[in-house]
Chains A and B, each alone.
Chain A
């Protein structure tokens, strides 16, 4: 799941260079949300975090 925010950030960058500013910002928000989900998913194992 940690790959998903990477993919979303590629789209955010792509939208930015193609002239879609608002779309880029919203994709960035989605990427951060999925990043938090990935942290939650990996927290007890690979990240050694107790939430």
Chain B
């Protein structure tokens, strides 16, 4: 069986898994952005919280993904078999790049600009919303882009805990020792990652301020 013929035969199944995969990624990214960007804004002026938060996010990043999925299964409410657990794990993975870029973007601003803003009588929150955030948005988006690509890849492993997606084909292919089946999952996942990278890269360039 060639990959191509397998692909043609199972195209509706592959398409469905791709849609599943994409949904998994989008939901996880929405949560990750909703948590990491405000958290990144919060830690700008709070050094103690900053070290704790960035440290914790780094710890999540170091846990091997398959192990993280496994660890979450027995945890009540967020755990168990299925999509919900997978989303929790994916969110934890996506936090660090977004969080770190948000923080770096918000703090890596020309000191002269911040000094002028403060001396002009802007409050801390005005500086955050009207100066830091607009100037940081390209850097924040770069973090979101990195996180999205990681999430598309890691989401293939979510199939191991029954969350569906393109990983289903990869695990099945490994079990069947069939390159064709593995590729049916791997190629669409790679394409998703490339397309996401291109689109977000385009957006990032548009947000950049000279």
Do A and B assemble together? no
- Give the interface of A toward B (CB within 8 A): none
- Give the interface of B toward A (CB within 8 A): none
